[in-house]
């Protein structure tokens, strides 16, 4: 096939609200965070795709539970990229901050970001514009969601703030592929933080319309998250004011303190 054919990134629904992203060129495919093998196997067979790699962002079972079944069914020679944690079943290639790797089929060059917060081992995969990618792609697991961020199960607010700052520095047109359809609940909270955010209000209407048609609200973009995601806006006056009010603390000293306050609020929202 034409090496310049644009790659497709397709959501394979799993469980109640997971997306297993499939990156493919019409013949060869990568899957990201396959928590369940069955929907992946069905999609690959339906689209006549050959699986050539598995990308894993972190160790939670809903992101790793299908790896071994995929390998046992399709071939144990399929490489499994993942964080250095020993909790990734079947991982063959450990990835760290700054690592870069090339996959031949589908043709893609990927760089790795360490983004702890949700878990300590969390990584994300970034593919900048290439011959077959017209806009940058970020596969971010559970660190960043549309209008939200992952719960801090293992990491600290400072780590999450640093991780989100790495995303904020990416090109604004980067397409962000999160692994859960949490958008509507995240928007409800974001509106509690910033009830007068016009971009957020408009995004709420659009997201509701998409879900009413059973369509994904993803991918989002870095530009949109900088406008509508309170966890990406911890340096903005309205978010700081909301964090100070909810926490009862004035003059919060850093964006990490602001994030800590609104993340604690979100956890009980």
Helices (H) and strands (E) in the chain, counts: 9, 14
Q: For 15-42, write each residue's pLDDT tens digit.
A: 999 999 999 999 999 999 999 999 999 9
Measured in whole angstroms, how far is the alpha carbon of residue 258 from the centre of its chain? 22
Per the listing, tokens 């703030």 go with 161
Q: For 47-60, write each residue's pLDDT tens digit.
A: 999 999 999 999 99
Whole-angstrom distance, CA of residue 219 vs CA of residue 46: 23
**Element holding 108 (H helix, E strand):** strand 108-114
Q: For 189-233, write each residue's pLDDT tens digit.
A: 999 999 999 999 999 999 999 999 999 999 999 999 999 999 999
Q: Which DSSP symbol is given to 133? A: B
What is the mean pLDDT of the segment spanning 157-177? Answer: 98
Q: Which DSSP symbol is given to 141? A: E
Q: Are 35 and 64 in contact (CB under 8 A)?
A: yes
Whole-angstrom distance, CA of residue 225 vs CA of residue 15: 25
N-terminal to C-terminal alpha carbon distance within the chain: 50
Q: How many angstroms separate the Cα of 134 from the Cα of each of 130, 264, 266?
A: 7, 38, 35
Show the CA angle centred on residue 218, arms to residues 212 and 219, nearest 5°: 155
Question: Residue 3: is its pLDDT beyond 90?
Answer: no
Task: Return the structure tokens found at 142.
Answer: 């559970």
Q: Which DSSP symbol is given to 78? A: S
Q: What does the pLDDT read at residue 4?
A: 59
SS3 198: helix
- φ and ψ of 71, to 5 deg: -65, -45
| DSSP, residue by residue, 152-187 | -SSS-HHHHHHHHHHHHTS-TT-EEEESB--HHHHH
Task: Return the structure tokens found at 217.
Answer: 């609200």
Q: Mean pLDDT of all residues in the chain?
A: 97
Question: Residue 62: is its pLDDT beyond 60?
Answer: yes
Task: Return the structure tokens found at 33.
Answer: 């965070």
Question: Residue 114: is its pLDDT beyond 80?
Answer: yes
> Does the model's pTM come out above 0.85?
yes
Whole-angstrom distance, CA of residue 227 vs CA of residue 203: 10
Q: For 235-256, write each residue's pLDDT tens digit.
A: 999 999 999 999 999 999 999 9
Question: Residue 1: is its pLDDT beyond 50?
Answer: no
Q: Are 229 and 266 in contact (CB under 8 A)?
A: no
Q: What does the pLDDT read at residue 5?
A: 81
């Amino acid at each position: 096939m034409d090496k310049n054919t644009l790659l497709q990134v397709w959501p394979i629904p799993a469980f109640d609200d997971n997306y297993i992203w499939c990156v493919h060129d019409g013949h060869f495919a990568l899957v990201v965070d396959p928590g369940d093998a069955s929907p992946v196997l069905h999609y690959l067979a339906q689209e006549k795709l050959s699986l050539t790699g598995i990308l894993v962002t972190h160790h939670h079972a809903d992101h790793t539970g299908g790896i071994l079944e995929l390998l046992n069914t399709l071939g144990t020679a399929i490489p499994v990229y993942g964080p250095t944690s020993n909790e990734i079943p079947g991982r063959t290639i450990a990835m760290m901050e700054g690592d870069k790797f090339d996959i031949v089929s589908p043709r893609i060059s990927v760089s790795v970001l360490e983004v702890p917060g949700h878990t300590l081992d969390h990584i994300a995969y970034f593919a900048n514009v290439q011959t077959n990618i017209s806009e940058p792609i970020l596969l971010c697991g559970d660190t960043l969601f549309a209008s939200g961020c992952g719960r801090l199960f293992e990491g600290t607010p400072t780590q999450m703030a640093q991780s989100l700052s790495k995303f904020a520095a990416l090109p604004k047109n980067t397409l962000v592929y999160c692994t859960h359809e949490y958008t509507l609940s995240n928007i409800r909270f974001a509106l509690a933080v910033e009830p007068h955010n016009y971009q957020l209000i408009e995004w709420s209407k659009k997201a509701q319309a998409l879900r009413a048609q059973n369509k994904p609200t993803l991918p989002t973009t870095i530009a949109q998250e900088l406008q509508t995601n309170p966890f990406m806006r911890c340096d903005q006056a309205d978010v700081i004011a909301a964090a100070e009010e909810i926490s009862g603390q004035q003059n919060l000293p850093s964006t990490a303190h602001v994030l800590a306050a609104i993340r604690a609020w979100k956890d009980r929202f």
